Structure 1
Amino acid sequence: MIDAAEGRGRGKVILYGEHAVVHGFEAVACGLPLGAVARLRPGKTSTFIIEHPGGRFEADGQVLKAARGIVESFGLELEALESSVHLAVPVGAGMGSSAALAVALARAARELSGQGDEARVEEAVARAEAVFHGQASGIDQSAALRGGVFAFRRGAHPGAPPQIEPMQAPALRLVVAQVAPSASTATMVRGVHALARRYPAAITPTFEAIGQVARAGRAALEAGDVQEAGELMNVNQGLLSALGVSIAAIDAACHLARQAGALGAKLTGAGGGGCVVALSPDAEHTRLIRQAWEARDWPCFEFYLEP
């Protein structure tokens, strides 16, 4: 066993397709340059520290359970390791922090143990995501592992691999704001499931419409039409509002971003809180969007994704 190891995982933004993706429809997402860095070394310790943009905390509960399962997949014991993770994205805000953490930790454990391959990393991360989110679509995991802009559709049945298609997208300027405390992804997904059971005649067509928007958004991005891509983000936000997963702060953030020149703005993630993503046409409008959001004291992040 080597003396120390480091692993990295990416954060994510979903451009189109939240919630409908859980029901088998296509979504479009991107892995971000920022995410998580995990560091492991042999040495008994009683703490597992996670640092993130909002501060630092000692892992417990689900996080500790997931982390223990990840390192055990590589023949290691968490209590026999000095472990830490640095997150560059906010926790539980729709930017894939748990998947980024899980991928970073699994890759560090693989390097430290000298056991396993990328397939074992994916298996360990999938189990961890089930601990975090219950019936997760797998899209966060895919972004954390691979990065880039990609189309995603979950497997046709439990255990089937997802369909992941890398996309040739133009340069994208994305601005993200954390506008409200996060909500549980599992809770939000269960709420939408319950709504679909009560009103299938209304909600199933909404899922279908979100899937159609995702396909149209994919086509717009692959054609290099960022104007249309932004308009479709706005349409997607309206459909997510119809599912009841938007809140007043998210709606206000979308409105402010569009006023400041965003091509499109929508929630990203499960909703109920968390983050809004805006597509900016250029650096000057990126500054204006951030200015509008920061006037509300919302923490902001910006990303330039090269083609």
Structure 2
Amino acid sequence: MQKRQRELSALTPPTSAEGQSENRRARSVGVGHAHAKAIVLGEHAVVYGAPALALPVPQLRVTASVGCSSPSPDGQGDVSLTMTGSASRPVATQASDSLRRLTDEFRATMGVAERLHLDVILDCAIPAGRGLGSSAACARAVVFALADLFGREVTQSMAFDLVQTAESVAHGRASGVDATAVGACAPLLFQEGEAQELPIDCDGLFIIADSGVMGRTKDAVELLREGFLRHSGARERFVRRATELTDEARHALADDRPEELGRRLTDYHELLRAAGLSTDRIDALVAAALTAGSFGAKITGGGMGGCVIALTRAEQAREVTRQLREAGAVQTWAVPLRGRVEHAL
């Protein structure tokens, strides 16, 4: 990684007269950060306008480093990508369509005229395909790395719009909750593009357990959509029940009722399981968390794999973690309810 950073530092922007004044403000390498997220309640229904509760996961971070060099002879900019970090083996690869679209949109939005070659390094600790927002976090980190590189100011609204650009390419229709939560400092209530910090008067921990199986969000979305089409009123019933559970959980968080919050988690898991979005391994992890004394547990994210999130007392966390691992979890993380993220950008 250090060698790669030195290579990036050696890259310098072109020295044309047109580019000199802007490039004096630019750095040789721009750096940006983001973190993972977990959906506490509201996945899938949030796409249809229902509320969702989202939790930042600061233990899992991504750092983007971006350098630039002269464009190709045809004058067109290009993007190369290197992935490193605990979530992936070091590998240089072609930039994805979403990354290319993101960099193009950044250039257009921020008025970066030069078609420079961009060399992107993503050092990512967020496992992909687990419902933890890895694609949105990588996109956000790149946005702020580009802003750092070119000396631009990026508002939260701009960052959201740019990340949504990448998410729409990667996943199709995106609610926006991931794009918001991967830069959040505290748990959020998200609904129809608007987010606000959740009032919390509960102590405890969320334990996130990785099943080791990549989720299949697109398959899950299609499965749910087909079910809605087959059964008249199914979508309305699903969204109504999801909204009820999420609202009840939000009030439980604010009123120091962790037992009630836990029950709503488990109820939401049953809603998703009934829709065919869970798996035997996920169900086993949920059962293990409940047996170990958790207030409640559920699948988190798109479904058909991914992670489980369980709410527990701090003193129960060790036992909950032990039983989750015995049930097949490949790794776990503990996130305090009252924790705050100090390095969201």
With the length of structure 2 as denominator, give the TM-score of the two structures. 0.80
Distance 1:101 1:212 in 2: 32
Contact 1:67 1:78 in 2 (8 A): no
Contact 1:10 1:147 in 2 (8 A): no
Distance 2:79 2:188 in 1: 39
Q: Name the amino acid aligned to 1:53.
A: S
Q: Map of 1:65-104 to 2, 5 A cutoff?
A: 65-75=97-107, 80-104=117-141
| Match 1:290 to one of 321, 334, 337 | 321
**Structure 2 residue matching 1:306: 3-state secondary structure:** coil
Number of corresponding residues: 298
Question: For structure 1, which segment, 136-145 or 115-124, has the greater mean C-alpha deviation from structure 2 after superposition?
Answer: 115-124
State the partner residue of 2:54: 29
C-alpha change, 1:59 and 1:218, in structure 2 (3 Å) is farther
What are the superposed Cα offsets for residues 51-89 of structure 1, whole Å, 9 maximum, x if unpaired? 34343254657x622122222333378972332112222
State the partner residue of 1:278: 310
Percent pairwise identity: 28
Contact 1:49 1:56 in 2 (8 A): no
C-alpha change, 1:60 and 1:245, in structure 2 (3 Å) is farther
Distance 1:6 1:78 in 2: 20
Q: Unpaired runs of 5+ in structure 2?
A: 1-25, 71-77, 340-345
Contact 2:63 2:123 in 1 (8 A): yes
C-alpha change, 1:129 and 1:117, in structure 2 (3 Å) is same
| Match 2:198 to one of 167, 183, 205 | 167
C-alpha change, 1:150 and 1:172, in structure 2 (3 Å) is farther
C-alpha change, 1:249 and 1:52, in structure 2 (3 Å) is farther
State the partner residue of 1:176: 208
**Structure 2 residue matching 1:148: 3-state secondary structure:** coil
Displacement of 1:306: 2.3
Distance 1:220 1:21 in 2: 19
Q: CA RMSD in A?
A: 2.2
Q: Unpaired runs of 5+ in structure 1?
A: 155-161
Q: Map of 1:1-307 to 2, 5 A cutoff?
A: 1-33=26-58, 34-43=60-69, 47-56=80-89, 58=91, 64-75=96-107, 80-118=117-155, 119-154=157-192, 162-169=193-200, 170-282=202-314, 284-295=315-326, 296=328, 298-306=330-338
Question: For structure 1, which segment, 19-28 or 66-75, has the greater mean C-alpha deviation from structure 2 after superposition?
Answer: 66-75
Could you list the runs of 4 or more consecutive aligned residues of structure 1 that deviate by over 6 angstroms after TM superposition? 76-79
Distance 2:153 2:227 in 1: 41
Distance 1:288 1:236 in 2: 23
Contact 1:32 1:148 in 2 (8 A): no
Displacement of 1:9: 1.4
Q: Name the amino acid aligned to 2:105.
A: S
Displacement of 1:46: 7.7
